[in-house]
Amino acid sequence: MSFNVVIPARYASSRLPGKPLEVIAGKPMVQHVYERAQESAAEEVIVATDDDRILRAVEQFGGRVVMTSANHESGTDRLQEVAALEGWADEQIVVGVQGDEPMIPPIVINQVAENLAARPEYSISTLLEKISELSDVMDPNVVKTAMDQSGAALYFSRAPIPYGRDCFPEKFPEGIDYYRHIGIYGYRVKFLRQFASWEMSPLEKAEKLEQLRAMWYGAKIHLDVAVETPPKGVDTPEDLEHIRRLMGQS
């Protein structure tokens, strides 16, 4: 099995503009992500951006970077453009690693690629972790997911799923596990082309979750518990300071 990693990195961000270039432990965030991805079994690691500032930063630390359109609706659309520009074959596996995950463990990148390679009936592979705090279940910034007994995703939501009708918001329902989605995905190139041809779905527009576009059109998504839980990504200034403290101690 072989796979490539693409790291979508946009400069624009409503909560933290320019976050791929925020300095953490002496390096821009995108460099940390790139170096973690290089420690995986990926044959190639590419940063995909639409901004000259990120392009220059990646080139400065010696990384591979590809300029992509500024009009993509999602990171997955950006991955598809890279696959097309690079001429990758239909069955090539591509792992999308978010550009705001500077502490992502390389082992989970391998896990996503291996899970997809072993399951030809699935279009996407991704990961989750068990939620232990009820506040996280109720937090719309924490994306929750539910799956069937075989590991196929049933839905993703910012809302609490499943909803504990008789016990929320005071306690967890008895005998039910809750899971946070970890935003790393494995795809085959032929699926990326399909995805990019589809219109945004109503569910995707409502929840602002691109994986719901795939489910809307009938794609199967495989879920697995991460073998090592990545720290939360950087979405806000508070997240950034938290990661700086963590990486300053490592």
Q: Percentage of the chain surpassing pLDDT 70?
A: 99
Q: How many CB atoms lie within 10 A of CB 103?
A: 17
Query: Domains of the chain: which residue ranges?
Result: 3-249
- Kindly write down the DSSP assignment for every residue of 118-162, as one continuous string: T-TT-SEEEEEEE---HHHHH-TTS-EEEE-TTSBEEEEESS-SS
pLDDT at 71: 86
* Separation of alpha carbons 74 and 31, rounded Å: 21
Residues 169-189 have pLDDT tens digits of 899 999 999 999 999 999 999
User: pTM value?
Assistant: 0.92
Assess whether the previous peptide bond of 202 is cis (omega < 30° from 0). no
The stretch 52-81 carries a mean pLDDT of: 93
* Separation of alpha carbons 47 and 217, rounded Å: 28
Residue 185 neighbours by CB under 8 Å, 6+ apart: 76, 95, 96, 112, 124, 125, 126, 211
* Separation of alpha carbons 235 and 243, rounded Å: 11
User: Looking at the predicted structure, is the pLDDT value of residue 20 above 60?
Assistant: yes
Q: Measured in whole angstroms, how far is the alpha carbon of residue 221 from the centre of its chain?
A: 13
* Separation of alpha carbons 96 and 109, rounded Å: 9
pLDDT at 250: 46
pLDDT at 211: 95
The stretch 29-47 carries a mean pLDDT of: 97
Residue 138 neighbours by CB under 8 Å, 6+ apart: 160, 168, 169
The stretch 4-22 carries a mean pLDDT of: 88
Handedness of CA 204, 107, 85, 60 (dihedral sign): positive
- The CATH fold assigned to 3-249 is Spore Coat Polysaccharide Biosynthesis Protein SpsA; Chain A (3.90.550)
Compute the mean pLDDT over every residue in the chain, rounded to the nearest whole number: 93
